[in-house]
């Protein structure tokens, strides 16, 4: 597994399987096959005090879960040939207990079905986020979860 991870100082490091991940207080996996979305979302989360890992496939997510248990996961509905429905059993199998923020540009009814599927597997699914969304929504979501207390400068 190779993933791009960031710590709170916004220093990037590429992790190989044998390396230990960077340690930070709050950590978020951004699971999306769109590199642009991953970068923007990771940048916003780092500004809020999170370390992040950008993961594009279910296999990369599973390998990352072997190394660390994140505080929060942002999960895109579509991941190339796979999708969120392939990821949910992986999260359940690893005993992930943090919130899962599903996101997509698909219809709300499809998102609601995936949220229900995650909940049926014991996952803490948040209401789906429709793409495109403003980064202020991410800030508000994280603050509402109580994961970060201060609002970072320039994030309002």
User: Taking the model in full, what pTM does it have?
Assistant: 0.79
- Say if 51 falls within a structural domain: yes
Domain count along the chain: 1
Any bridge partners for residue 51, and if so which?
27
Per-residue pLDDT of the chain (156 residues; tens, 9 = 90+): 445 555 544 444 444 333 444 444 689 999 999 999 999 999 999 998 899 999 999 999 999 999 999 999 999 998 878 889 999 999 999 999 999 999 988 888 888 899 999 999 999 999 988 888 888 889 899 988 987 644 444 444
- Say if 81 falls within a structural domain: yes
Residue 99 lies in domain: 3-11+23-55+63-144
48 vs 115: CA distance, rounded Å: 25
CATH of the domain at 76: 3.40.50.2300
- Say if 98 falls within a structural domain: yes
Q: What value, to the nearest 5°, has the Cα angle with vertex 40 and ends 97 and 34?
A: 80
- Say if 67 falls within a structural domain: yes
């Amino acid at each position: 597994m190779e993933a791009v991870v960031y710590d709170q100082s916004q220093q990037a490091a590429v992790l190989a399987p044998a390396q230990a991940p960077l340690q930070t207080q709050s950590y978020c996996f951004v699971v999306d096959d769109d590199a642009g979305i991953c970068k923007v979302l990771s940048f916003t989360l780092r500004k809020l005090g999170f370390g992040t890992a950008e993961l594009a496939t279910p296999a990369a997510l599973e390998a990352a879960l072997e190394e660390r248990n994140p505080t929060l996961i942002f999960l895109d509905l579509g991941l190339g040939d796979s999708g969120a429905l392939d990821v949910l059993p992986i999260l359940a199998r690893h005993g992930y207990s943090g919130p899962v923020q599903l996101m997509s540009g698909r219809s709300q009814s499809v998102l609601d079905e995936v949220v229900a599927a995650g909940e049926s597997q014991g996952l803490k699914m948040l209401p789906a986020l429709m793409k495109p969304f403003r980064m202020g929504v991410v800030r508000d979501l994280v603050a509402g979860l109580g994961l970060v207390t201060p609002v970072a400068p320039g994030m309002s």
